């Protein structure tokens, strides 16, 4: 295959941090290359240099064997480079067609009517043609993007790339918010792009997906290219060792559990049109998995228990006693914590420091007379959990938004550990974090269970649910579809229940 992209000796420094150090990276035409590495390994910096967001300090970029200069995103676009970021760059109040051609004035000039005005019918027709190239049915070019699912928004981004004749498409964590059935649809589209001779860079923390769609894998660690493997040789063990610089003995360190008395019991939880008649119990020291397809009501169950969403009916008992939870403050006072699926929006105050975030749940207890915060106590509390959870770097004065995803998630967990909980509700606790941090959080979940905490674990990653749970509850269309013991649970049985099959 002919080489499409070649990046030679790319280096980039930000202040005292060497983000990239003499990195080589290539993509052939018609090839899907997986770009792997822990958070902070340099993946984002390499992508942003290719996209014209950052300027390289050293090195060269070649397209089709010819040296090119990329000063800005417009240069990248002219060269046929498109980057689809995890946070999609779309305008929600405009249609699919308007988004597809929003930044392509040269293409729009061919879609003007006789008086120089945009020919909306021709623009919609051209958008429909691009969608047909991707094998996408059922996406109306006139539909507003803000009303679409994440999957269809992602497909709109891909159509945008094709609109300016992209030859190389970079996808940054493209499956992180997709249900399993949509992941395979995305893979089929990637295969279509590959068959047309486009190059694709696939950035992901999900190793099973990397093996399913990539031809070759390149691994970065500490800003350096530490090697590449053909996909046939890319076992979990080899990839993890390359990414973290050591072997991780057990990604899912779950020890046998001996659950105690029932701590949390919910009965008949109902929020009309969302969840219906949800009943289950969790014992001390038990991890109960809550599985189901996206939209099945998993998150809504956790939010209802935590008091974030109102209930139409149902009851909650804690240690056998009925309790009323009308707000998260009520839940916190009762010893119930909730790690939400979107840490940046719901779990952290990104502009505040690690210290302030880690102590948010206990500020009242650390205030003298309930009014004046004792800052040395705040510092001691946050330092304790920063060290216990191995937050990197181990500094409480850093703004939490500057940390990697895995370390941000550790700060969310620190906030709840400080509150001395009885029950912890975990919603996608390892989404978007690297494999090293994932193993550490799995180890923490196991440790908390062995300390006697009752844990509800919600995850879209079935291997995680299967490996870390003592029992698994499966939801389908807002209802509990079944319960499986650890011994009888398999991916096939969980998916069958989640799909409404018995």
CA distance 469 to 446: 9
- pLDDT, residue 80, reads 94
User: Using one digit for the tens of pLDDT, what is the confidence trace for 147-173?
Assistant: 888 778 888 888 888 888 899 999 998
Q: What's the chain's length in residues?
A: 502
- Provide the percentage of residues in the chain whose pLDDT is more than 70: 95
Owner of token pair 């760059």: 89
CATH number for the region 3-244 comes to: 3.40.50.300
Whether the CB-CB separation of 102 and 111 falls below 8 Å is answered with no
CA distance 331 to 359: 17
Is the pTM of the predicted complex or chain greater than 0.85? Answer: no
pLDDT < 50: residue spans in the chain: 106-117
- pLDDT, residue 215, reads 98
Whether the CB-CB separation of 412 and 48 falls below 8 Å is answered with no
CATH tag for 262-498 (out of 3.40.50.720, 3.40.50.800, 3.40.50.300, 3.50.50.60): 3.40.50.300
- pLDDT, residue 501, reads 66
Would you list the domain boundaries of the chain?
Answer: 3-244, 262-498
Whether the CB-CB separation of 373 and 367 falls below 8 Å is answered with yes
- pLDDT, residue 369, reads 62
Whether the CB-CB separation of 42 and 223 falls below 8 Å is answered with yes
β-bridge pairing 372-373 and 367-368: antiparallel
User: Using one digit for the tens of pLDDT, what is the confidence trace for 423-468?
Assistant: 999 999 998 788 888 888 999 999 999 999 999 999 988 889 999 9
Fold match between 3-244 and 262-498? yes
User: Using one digit for the tens of pLDDT, what is the confidence trace for 371-395?
Assistant: 677 888 889 989 999 998 888 888 9
- pLDDT, residue 432, reads 77
- pLDDT, residue 115, reads 40
The set of residues, in sequence order, having a beta carbon less than 8 Å from that of 237 and lying 6+ positions away, is 247
CA distance 336 to 263: 11
User: Using one digit for the tens of pLDDT, what is the confidence trace for 329-338?
Assistant: 999 999 999 9
């Amino acid at each position: 295959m002919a080489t499409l992209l070649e990046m030679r000796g790319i280096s980039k420094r930000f202040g005292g941090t060497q983000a990239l150090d003499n990195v080589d990276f290539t993509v052939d035409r018609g090839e899907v290359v997986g770009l792997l590495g822990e958070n902070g390994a340099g993946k984002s910096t390499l992508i942003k240099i290719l996209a014209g967001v950052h300027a390289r300090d050293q090195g060269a970029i070649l397209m089709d064997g010819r040296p090119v200069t990329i000063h800005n995103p417009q240069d990248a676009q002219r060269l046929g480079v498109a980057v689809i970021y995890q946070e999609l760059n779309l305008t929600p109040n405009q249609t699919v067609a308007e988004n597809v051609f929003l930044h392509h004035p040269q293409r729009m000039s061919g879609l003007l009517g006789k008086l120089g005005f945009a020919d909306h019918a021709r623009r919609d027709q051209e958008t429909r043609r691009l969608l047909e190239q991707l094998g996408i049915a059922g996406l109306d070019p006139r539909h507003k993007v803000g009303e679409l699912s994440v999957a269809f928004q992602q497909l709109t981004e891909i159509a945008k790339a094709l609109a300016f004749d992209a030859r190389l498409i970079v996808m940054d964590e493209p499956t992180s918010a997709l249900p399993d059935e949509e992941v395979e649809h995305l893979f089929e589209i990637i295969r279509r792009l590959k068959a047309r001779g486009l190059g694709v860079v696939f950035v992901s923390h999900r190793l099973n997906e990397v093996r399913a769609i990539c031809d070759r894998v390149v691994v970065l660690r500490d800003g350096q290219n530490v090697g590449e493997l053909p996909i046939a040789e890319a076992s979990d063990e080899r990839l993890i060792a390359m990414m973290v610089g050591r072997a991780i003995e057990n990604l899912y360190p779950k020890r046998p559990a001996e659950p105690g008395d029932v701590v949390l019991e919910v009965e008949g939880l109902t929020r009309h049109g969302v969840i219906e008649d949800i009943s289950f119990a969790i014992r001390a020291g038990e991890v109960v998995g809550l599985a189901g397809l996206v939209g099945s009501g998993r998150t809504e169950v956790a939010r209802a228990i935590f008091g974030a969403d109102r209930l139409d009916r149902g009851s909650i008992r804690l240690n056998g006693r009925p309790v009323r939870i009308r707000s998260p403050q009520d839940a916190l006072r009762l010893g119930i914590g909730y790690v939400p699926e979107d840490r940046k929006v719901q779990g952290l105050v990104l502009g505040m420091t690690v210290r302030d975030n880690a102590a948010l749940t206990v500020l009242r207890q650390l205030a003298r007379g309930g009014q004046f915060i004792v800052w040395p106590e705040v510092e001691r509390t946050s330092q304790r959990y920063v060290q216990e959870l191995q937050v990197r770097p181990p500094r409480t004065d850093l703004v939490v938004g500057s940390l990697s995803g895995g370390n941000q998630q550790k700060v969310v967990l620190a906030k709840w550990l400080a509150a001395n909980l009885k029950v912890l509700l975990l919603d996608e606790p390892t989404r978007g974090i690297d494999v090293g941090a994932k193993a550490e959080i799995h180890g923490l979940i196991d440790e908390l269970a062995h300390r006697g905490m009752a844990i509800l674990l919600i995850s879209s990653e079935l291997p995680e649910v299967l490996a870390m749970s003592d029992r698994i509850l499966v939801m389908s269309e807002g209802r509990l579809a079944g319960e499986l013991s650890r011994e009888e649970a398999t991916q096939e049985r969980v998916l069958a229940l989640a799909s409404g099959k018995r």
